Chain A
Amino acid sequence: MRKTLTLAAAAVIGSALCAAPVLAQESPTLKKIKDTGSITLGHRESSIPFSYYDDKQQVIGYSHEMMLKAVDAIKAELKLAKLDVKLMPVTSANRITLLQNGTVDMECGSTTNNLERQKQVGFSTSIFVIGTRLMAKKDAGVKDFPDLAGKNVVTTAGTTSERLIRKMNEEKQMKMNIISAKDHGESFLTLESGRAVAFMMDDALLYGEMAKAKRPGDWVVVGTAQSKEAYGCMLRKDDAGFKKVVDAALTKAMTSGEAEKIYNKWFMNPIPPKGLNLNMPLSDDMKALYKAPNDKAYE
């Protein structure tokens, strides 16, 4: 027992003295960040309100602020006086490739943590929980997924929704025409211009897209959630040292109440670009997540 204590004490002192080098050695990403004094963050261009551009082309959003919390922790962990933060926009379709090939070091946007993706990348503690639903025009007569049979439906390429709806179409022989748009902005454009009767996506993102509609009141989010999904920050696979630092920072933000403040800022208050309030109170799933942060995928 005493030996363990001494060891623990030594470890604490040791980590205080030279934690950075030790950790950096264990983690290729941390080592890279330390060596170059810079970190490249992947962000989205139109994932409202998670990660998107405001009208001055600045990246803002809930996930982005959570990511910056992690960056602060990385900077402190590595004891860097200055950390150069570079931003790199990614799309649903290229985010995994860009993370794997080293273009970005981490990505917090609206990326679902699921088992399929876990084969390719690592995920931090989850930062959000969503359900995949539909957005449609109020008077279009779309109430739920069965109403979509034979109609044009849009979703964003490379998302879990795309896989779900293709599968549904195949299994239930619904004869939907599925349009895969490049990003959420283009998906909404497809919906708004009348090319599709419904847009399937994560509910929070649908509310976000609604916020930039010409007439937000024309649109509703409907349908039974087809899946419950947890968003996490993507990290490179098998980089435990890096994940540890990021997880600690996110967990601290969630259990200390900071995350809820950020949540309220983005979901319960007017947000750019049009000053619309999404009015999405904290769900039970989110409350549970904040109480006990974890990196589990639903499914």
Chain B
Amino acid sequence: MYEFDWSSIPGALPLLGKGLLVTLEVTLTAIVVGIGWGTLLAVARLSSNRLLSFLAAGYVNLFRSVPLVMVILWFYLIVPQALKGLFGQDIGDIRLVSALVAFALFEAAYYSEIIRAGIQSVPKGQVAAGLALGLTPGQTMRLVVLPQAFRNMIPLLLTQAIILFQDTSLVYVIGLSDFFGTAYKVGDRDGRLVELLLFAGAAYFVICFTVSRLVKHLQARFIK
């Protein structure tokens, strides 16, 4: 039978903590940028401007039909060149930067679909009322429709955030040391991969399960 040896975990906790920070950094950036850019995409997609709506739909459908692994690899390939054009040479850890960009742009496609559904769930009368009050279409969207839409969407947005938190482990493919990557490297270094993988799985479970309970709780409070 396999003999478990958990002794390499306590010493690795500071490293794992650092990895968790990277995971959180990628997750939070992707949430913030993803929701911002996703909202713009959703509004563009619903706009009466044919070209705008076509471009937004193309963006969303492209990102939604390609595996995240490929997207991460794509940006790892492209980002160094693009960034050099934008910011010059001094860009720090290219893996982190390309992961941040990849996740933000990828998640925006998914968020935009949630937000689009949220906007469509707002009754048409609200828009008519806004316009009748003399607001411009832009103002109606910003002041009337979006606030209500977001309220309806919060549980879905949070659920997507949990999925995103788990998906960030895929930065493994570009060798970035997030929480999972660090656990794998420590396991490889000490020859205790089995224990480290089980530990990482348990840690992800505890975090995601707790947050998803909180989301359920929130959902119960919001939708009465």
Are A and B direct contacts in the complex by CB distance below 8 Å? yes
Whether B77 and A97, one on each chain, are in contact in the complex, defined by CB atoms closer than 8 angstroms, is: yes
Closest A residue to B191 by CB, please name it: A214
Task: Point out the residues of chain A lying under 8 angstroms from B89, CB to CB.
Answer: 32, 35-36, 38
Once the chains are docked, how many angstroms separate the CA of A214 from the CA of B191? Answer: 7
B130 beta carbon closer than 8 Å to chain A: no
> Within 8 Å CB of B185, what residues of A?
45
The CA of A186 and the CA of B189, in the complex, are separated in Å by 10
Interface residue count for A (Cβ, 8 Å)?
26
Whether a CB of chain B sits under 8 angstroms from the CB of A148 is no
Contact of B77 among A89, A91, A101, A213 (CB under 8 A): A101
- Number of B residues near A (Cβ < 8 Å) is 17
B175-A185 in contact (CB<8A): no
Chain A residues within an 8 Å CB radius of B81: 101-102
Q: Is A192 interfacial (CB-CB < 8 Å)? A: yes
A212 to B94, CA, bound (A): 29
A103 and B175 within 8 A (CB): no
Contacts of A89 in B (CB 8 A): 175
Contact of B189 among A97, A192, A213, A273 (CB under 8 A): A273
| Interface residues of B, Cβ cutoff 8 Å to A | 15, 76-77, 80-81, 84, 88-90, 93-94, 175, 185, 188-189, 191, 193
Chain A residues close to B by CB (< 8 Å): 32, 35-36, 38, 45-46, 53, 55, 57, 88-89, 91, 94, 97-98, 101-103, 185-186, 189, 192, 212-214, 273
| Besides the known contacts A94-B76, A102-B80, A102-B84, 19 further A-B residue pairs in the complex with CB atoms under 8 A apart | A32-B89, A35-B89, A36-B88, A36-B90, A38-B89, A38-B90, A57-B15, A88-B94, A89-B175, A91-B175, A101-B77, A185-B188, A186-B188, A189-B188, A189-B191, A192-B191, A212-B189, A212-B191, A273-B189
